[in-house]
Structure 1
């Protein structure tokens, strides 16, 4: 999610350190932002809140989590 909109999904190895906002965004495979995806993500996060990692604000991009 970037600024409240679903951008897509991606994978980054846990051993990767010191990523920039651009690195995170480059790892995302773009997908459509739909009402259904918001419902699915909201349900998942409600049940698995401990898995969510909120990343610091990216000044040029907004907030990514």
Structure 2
């Protein structure tokens, strides 16, 4: 799923959120952009797993194999 060509995304963040990300990125010696990309990818993978889990649970509730 995540091997496709990279895409650009522009977002506007409150100053406090950006400042937090900037400190975090500095601690990890990476750019804010790279940190944001990693966090977004992790969030998507987490959501994807949640959706699969929810769908499997719904199938079990309906008695579908």
TM-score by length of 1: 0.28
State the structure with more CA Rg.
2
More helix by share: 2
More strand by share: 1
